[in-house]
Chain A
Amino acid sequence: MSRAAPRPGRRAARARPPWALVPLAALAVGFLVLPLVALLQRAPWSDLAELVRRPIVTDALRLSLVSAAAATGLSLLCGVPLAWVLARSRLPGLSVLRALATLPVVLPPVVGGAALLFAFGRRGLVGEPLEDATGFVLPFTIWGVIAANTFVALPFLVLTVESGLRAVDTRYEEAAATLGAGRWTVLRRVTLPQAAPSIVAGAVLCFARALGEFGATVTFAGNLQGRTQTMPLAVFVALESDREAAIALSLVLVAVSLAVLVPLRDRWPRA
């Protein structure tokens, strides 16, 4: 099957988008980039080096990275199996389950935080017996931050991985079965490797969402430097008292986010 080489004019025409799309796309880019530019413009460049070394920044950065990473780990552990159930099983009420799993995406984060309190707070459904039995309290600890982050970020991973799993051709799984692979082996060596790009994408989205989480964290886990004050919380508090520190914190957050998002998304080629 040979393919004729495209005529030069035709190839150039195919590379350009339809003209009506360009100004709209430019509008979108402008809208998204302008606030970032404004932030950069107000940055206290001369003091930046000193500002980012202050404990309020380093503590917040450490907490953010640790809790976002932990939330991503938890999301992978529980989210991939959930995605598999949503994509493959034939249980009744699956669409209801999917709606519930997606709820945190549409729920205002503060509402999510309040709901977490009702469930896991000291007077919560699970939290109260937990404290009575073990003395352990979820709010006001880093575990509370991780819980809040996981609550808002897990759905992103589930949705991404579910669509990735749906795209895997089930015929390969049949072929693996005829070769003697049990269900667990099929999952491990055939299904998941092919879904790997979507799992990575889901994890990246999850991490990014967890990194930026504010409402649920402050409502559920509280705000204390060094213990629960993640970067977004630190920025919010600093905005009220120390504007320059707030901007420095924001820049650090932007830099970290870019460092995570840019290389990971390019690096994973589609199979």
Chain B
Amino acid sequence: MTTRPVRPLLAAVAVLGALAACGGSSGDAAPAGDEGDGPEGAVTVFAAASLTDAFADVAAAFEDEHPGVTVELSFAGSPSLREQVLEGAPADVVATADEGVMADLVDEGAVGEPVVFATNRLQLAVPAGNPADVTGLDDLARDELLVGLCAEGVPCGELARRVLADAGVTPAPDTEEPDVRALLAKIEAGELDAGLVYATDVQAAGGAAEGIDVPAGEAGTTRYPIATVAGAPHPDAAAAFVAFVASPAGRDVLAGHGFGPP
């Protein structure tokens, strides 16, 4: 009976060995290639959800300029970004949709000096064809419409509430989405009649959604800061990326997606 205990043990060792082998291989691979000037390797960028489409193009443009570098992008709501960075996620760069979130990160010493690289404003989004005949912010108070806002704590949500308060409108939301892209998706699908999202989101929706301008002013505008993460694995590449984003080339790409200048 001595062989019987050995078999499960061998199986366990094999499984653990396989896991260890798999776990070790993720991470940066040192690129063979030119050892000339410029950073090399991969740079991990954590960015706000509203930057999804824009940063994909920014990253492509950046990679064209710096052939040795690969950009890895990860998107989430700005508060989630704060959590992830504070918990020590392996990010090199973080770009938020909220100066408050960035300020928190600065206070914690988690990031370097932030740079504002773009602005965005709120827009009232409706499904293509505007089936509910929405004209302005007042419509968000109508009970019979299905209306969505971003959740409190999400920058888009904070912005929306400030704009509505300034306009003296008490909204009757049917949902408070934790993620602006989720809100946009529901508007595009026609599940919601209207919602407050960013102008860039409306642009990204193409023909599936229409945007209606709202009186924004200072309250309705959001500024996007970007910073390198303290203790980043790839500080050179991180700095280069931040510089690119703030440069005219970067701003051009962003403008193409509906972002305003800083």
In the complex, A touching B, CB below 8 Å? yes
Task: Enumerate chain A interface residues (CB-CB to B < 8 A).
Answer: 18-21, 24, 117, 121-123, 137, 139-140, 218-219, 221-225, 227-229, 233, 236-242
Contact check, A241 vs B12: say whether CB atoms are below 8 A apart. no
Contacts A20-B12, A122-B146 given: A224-B173 contact, CB under 8 Å?
A: yes
- Which of B62-70, B111-119, B147-155, B228-236 contacts the other chain? B147-155
Q: Known contacts A20-B5, A24-B8, A241-B79: does B176 contact A224 (CB below 8 Å)?
A: yes
- Inter-chain contacts of A242 with B (CB < 8 A): 153
Say yes or no for B80: interface residue by CB 8 A criterion: yes
> Given A20-B12, A240-B77, are A224 and B189 also a contact pair (CB < 8 Å)?
no
B175 adjacent to A223 (CB under 8 Å)? yes
Inter-chain pairs besides A222-B186, A224-B174, A238-B153, 15 sampled, C-beta below 8 Å: A18-B8, A122-B190, A123-B190, A140-B175, A218-B178, A219-B182, A222-B177, A223-B151, A223-B178, A228-B175, A236-B178, A237-B153, A237-B178, A239-B80, A240-B83
Bound-state Cα–Cα, A241 to B176, Å: 14
Q: How large is the interface on B (under 10, 10 to 19, 20 to 34, 35 or more residues)?
A: 20 to 34
Cβ–Cβ < 8 Å partners of B151 in chain A = 223, 237, 240
Minimum CB distance partner of A135 in chain B: B144
Q: Which chain A residue shows the least CB distance to B183?
A: A222
Interface pair A241/B8, CB less than 8 Å apart: no
Contacts of B153 in A (CB 8 A): 237-238, 240-242
Interchain CA distance A224-B148 in the complex, whole Å: 10
List, sorted by A's number, 18 A–B pairs whose CB atoms are closer than 8 Å: A18-B5, A24-B8, A117-B191, A121-B191, A140-B146, A218-B177, A218-B182, A222-B174, A222-B175, A222-B186, A223-B176, A223-B178, A224-B174, A225-B176, A227-B174, A236-B178, A240-B178, A241-B79
Within 8 A of A (CB), among B1-47: 4-6, 8-9, 12
CA A239 – CA B12 in complex, angstroms? 37
Residue of A nearest to B176 (CB): A223
For the complex, give the distance between the alpha carbons of A241 and B178 in Å. Answer: 11
- For the complex of A and B, list the 4 residue pairs with the smallest distance between their C-beta atoms, beginning with the closest: A241-B153, A222-B175, A240-B79, A140-B174
Distance of A139 Cα from B178 Cα, bound (Å): 16
Contact status B189-A121, CB under 8 Å: yes
Q: Is the CB of A223 within 8 A of B80?
A: no
How many Å from the CB of B9 to the closest CB on chain A? 5
CA gap between A11 and B19 in the complex, in Å: 38
Q: Of residues A20, A137, A242, which shows the largest number of chain B Cβ atoms within 10 Å of its Cβ? A: A20
Distance, CA A123 to CA B127, complexed state (A) = 12
- B186 surroundings in chain A (CB, below 8 A): 222
CB distance from A233 to the nearest CB of B (A): 8
B193 to chain A, nearest CB (A): 9
Task: Report A-chain residues with C-beta under 8 Å of the C-beta of B173.
Answer: 224
CA distance A242 to B9 in the complex (A): 45
CA distance A190 to B258 in the complex (A): 68
The answer to whether A240 touches B80, judged by C-beta atoms less than 8 angstroms apart, is yes
Tell me the bound Cα distance from A139 to B83 in angstroms: 30
Q: Is the CB of B177 within 8 A of A18?
A: no
Residues of B close to A24: CB separation below 8 A = 8, 12
Chain A residues with CB under 8 Å of B174's CB are: 140, 222, 224, 227
Query: How far is B141's CA from A147's CA once the two chains are assembled, in angstroms?
Result: 27
Q: How far is the CB of B80 from chain A (nearest CB, A)?
A: 6
Interface string of B147-184 (1 = CB under 8 A from A): 01001111000000000000000000111111000100
**Given contact pairs A140-B175, A240-B178, A222 touches B9 in the complex (Cβ within 8 A):** no
Kindly provide the distance from the CB of B186 to the nearest chain A CB, expressed in whole angstroms.
8
Say yes or no: A222-B178 contact (C-beta < 8 A), given A117-B189, A123-B189: no
A134 shortest CB reach to chain B, Å: 14
Q: For the complex, what is the distance from the CA of A242 to the CA of B8, rounded to whole Å?
A: 46
Report Cα–Cα, A117/B154, bound state, in Å. Answer: 24
Q: Which of B79, B148, B152, B191 has the most CB of A within 10 A?
A: B191
Instruction: Determine which residue in A117, A218, A222, A229 has the highest number of CB atoms from chain B within 10 A of its CB, and name it.
Output: A222
Complex Cα distance, B154 from A240, in Å, reads 7
Closest to B149 in A: A224
**CB pair B8 A139 closer than 8 Å:** no
A237 and B152 CA atoms in complex are apart in Å by: 8
Chain A nearest CB: distance from B61 CB in Å?
31
How far apart are the CA atoms of A227 and B143 in the complex, in Å? 14
In the complex, what's the smallest C-beta–C-beta distance from B176 to chain A, in angstroms? 5
The answer to whether B189 and A20 have CB atoms under 8 Å apart is no
Indicate if the CB atoms of B4 and A18 lie closer than 8 Å.
yes
Query: What chain A residues lie within 8 Å of B83 (beta carbons)?
Result: 239-240
Q: In B215-242, which residues have CB < 8 Å from any A CB?
A: none
Contact partner of A20 (CB less than 8 A), chosen from B8, B77, B152, B191, is B8
- Residues in chain B near residue A218, CB distance under 8 A: 177-178, 182
Rounded to whole angstroms, the CA-CA distance of A140 and B177 in the bound complex is 11
Minimal Cβ-Cβ distance residue in A for B1: A18
